[in-house]
Amino acid sequence: MRIDRIEIRHTKMELVTSFETSMGIETQEEHIMVRVDGDGVTGWGECVVEELPLYSSETVQTAWSVLRDCLIPAVLGKTISKVEEAIALWTKFRGHRMAKAGLESALWDALAKAKGVSLAKMLGGTRDRVDVGVSVGLQASPEALVRKVGAHLDEGYRRIKIKIAPGRDVELVKALRKEYPKVLLQVDANSAYELSDIDVFRAMDDAGLLLIEQPLSYEDIYDHSKLQRELKTAICLDESIHSLADARAALELNSCRVINIKPGRVGGFTESAAIHDYCASKKIPVWHGGMLESGIGRAGNVALASLPNFTLPGDISASRRYYREDIVEPEFVLNPDSTLTVPTGPGIGVTVLMDRLDRVTVRREEFRHR
Ligand code: OSB
Ligand code: MG
């Protein structure tokens, strides 16, 4: 496929409910949608950068400049038959994994569509439905959290993840366990603690949590190994894992027993699949994280999560949990068994609604090969 045209769009979408974590409160989500055209097909990808460098050091502005000045010029006008050929054209550029993943995902979609196969199939997916849960932000009080979780359980979500932050942690777990002793429950600290806070985690170590996600610093691997040694509950790393090499370091040091895979954080589906395969070979379960994606990114996430070692439910909820109206159709709807159905159409298998995308686009730039 010859890459003739690439377009990037800075989008702003209002969340149905604000999302509070140890990093701050979000009320709207800014991302970059990437469109690639060539050989009569159009591929779409979502770059999950946010407005400010709170979760990741990348932002909409850094990704925009790296896409415009480095990644797009590297591939525009080139003919590629595999995503790896595109990756080879940009590996000399260091870091900026979310920017790379945004473009890579659009290329995956375009190449899968050119072949007439689903992205799930092309990535090696083996399931037609993926288990999902819901990630619940910090609420005003433990009572409010219990109510919110109850509402999600009523919607059919069978796995709950709650955000924790210093001073808003053990009491939340206790309140939930009192009301819902058996529910699949996990916590996510988003790097808000230090090793000296170990008593917080000891205090929730008998709560039957599935895992404790990213308790310590966002690039740490070593201190997590010290913490894991002291806990029965599995630690799961999110922020600290940027690559297969990080995953290897984390498993060799026993820093975690579970890994959260987000394609944006690790530079794309190719690296995600490599981490998935490595973890499978070590009998370490993985699950798919989320970055409050629109339907474009969500479709790719569902496809990736259909690989066999994604054995824990993902942070891939229905479209309605995030946005009043999604920018794709069909939107993602929760099945009664707490799964989302993996699209079977070519590529990401959903149609981008251009009028809706136009309405949420605040900046657009297009690049043509001539
Ligand atoms: O740490 O998993 C995280 C959202 C933005 C940034 C980081 C995280 C999250 C979530 C939301 O937890 C998951 C979702 O998309 O449902
Ligand atoms: Mg996380």
pLDDT tens per residue, range 90-102: 999 999 999 999 9
> Is 325 within 8 Å of 141 (Cβ atoms)?
no
pLDDT value for 7 = 98
Which secondary structure element, helix H or strand E, spans residue 10, and what is its range?
strand 5-21
Catalytic residue among 163, 182, 232, 283: 163
Q: Are residues 100 and 144 in the same domain?
A: no
Q: Are residues 106 and 236 in the same domain?
A: no
d(CA 135, CA 150): 13
What one-letter code names the amino acid at 305? Answer: A
| Cα-to-centroid distance, 89 and ligand 2 (Å) | 30
Taking residues 290-317, report their average pLDDT: 98
| Ligand 1 pocket residue status of 291, Cβ below 6 Å | yes
CATH number at residue 87: 3.30.390.10
Token pair 């399931």 is found at 127
Q: Are residues 162 and 294 in the same domain?
A: yes
d(CA 1, CA 40): 9
Q: Are residues 105 and 223 in the same domain?
A: no
Q: Rounded to the nearest 5 degrees, what angle is found at the Cα of 273, between the Cα atoms of 94 and 43?
A: 75
Q: Does the active-site annotation cover 262?
A: yes
Q: Are residues 25 and 139 in the same domain?
A: no
Q: Encode pLDDT of 358-368 as tens digits.
A: 999 999 999 99
Q: Are residues 61 and 126 in the same domain?
A: no
Q: Are residues 167 and 39 in the same domain?
A: no
Work out which ligand 1 atom sits closest to the CA atom of 321.
Answer: 16
Q: Rounded to the nearest 5 degrees, what angle is found at the Cα of 344, between the Cα atoms of 280 and 332?
A: 90
d(CA 16, CA 35): 26
Q: Are residues 183 and 283 in the same domain?
A: yes
Q: Are residues 99 and 143 in the same domain?
A: no
Q: Are residues 158 and 249 in the same domain?
A: yes
| Ligand 1 pocket residue status of 135, Cβ below 6 Å | yes
Q: Rounded to the nearest 5 degrees, what angle is found at the Cα of 332, between the Cα atoms of 329 and 336?
A: 140
Residue 244 lies in a domain: yes
d(CA 332, CA 353): 14
Residue 346 lies in a domain: no
Taking residues 249-260, report their average pLDDT: 98
pLDDT value for 269 = 98
If you average pLDDT over every residue of the chain, what do you get? 98
Is the Cα torsion angle 321, 298, 283, 336 positive or negative in sign? positive
Helix 97-115 / helix 269-281 crossing angle, nearest 10 deg: 90
Q: Encode pLDDT of 122-136 as tens digits.
A: 999 999 999 999 999
pLDDT-based confidence at residue 278 (cuts at 50, 70, 90): very high
> Is 282 within 8 Å of 249 (Cβ atoms)?
no
Q: Encode pLDDT of 36-88 as tens digits.
A: 999 999 999 999 999 999 999 999 999 999 999 999 999 999 999 999 999 99
What pTM, to 2 d.p., does this model score? 0.97
pLDDT value for 58 = 98
Q: Rounded to the nearest 5 degrees, what angle is found at the Cα of 313, between the Cα atoms of 309 and 314?
A: 95
- Containing structural domain, residue 58: 5-116+351-368
CATH number at residue 182: 3.20.20.120
Number of domains in the chain: 2
| Ligand 1 pocket residue status of 133, Cβ below 6 Å | no
Taking residues 167-193, report their average pLDDT: 98
| Cα-to-centroid distance, 136 and ligand 1 (Å) | 9
What one-letter code names the amino acid at 253? Answer: L
Q: Give the Å distances, CA to CA, from 93 to 205, 267, 286.
A: 42, 12, 28
Q: Are residues 222 and 364 in the same domain?
A: no
Best residue among 291, 320, 321, 323 to mutate for probing ligand 1, ranked by most atoms within 8 Å of CB: 291
What one-letter code names the amino acid at 245? Answer: A
Q: Encode pLDDT of 203-242 as tens digits.
A: 999 999 999 999 999 999 999 999 999 999 999 999 999 9
- Within 10 angstroms of residue 145's Cβ, the number of other Cβ atoms is 24
Q: Are residues 68 and 151 in the same domain?
A: no
> Is 80 within 8 Å of 86 (Cβ atoms)?
yes
| Ligand 1 pocket residue status of 43, Cβ below 6 Å | no
Strand order in the sheet with 5-21: 41-47, 24-38, 5-21, 361-368
pLDDT value for 240 = 98
pLDDT value for 42 = 98
Maximum Cα interatomic distance, the chain, rounded to a whole number of Å: 65
| Helix (H/G/I), strand (E/B), else coil: 35 | strand
Nearest to 67 by CA among 84, 86, 53: 86
pLDDT value for 370 = 76
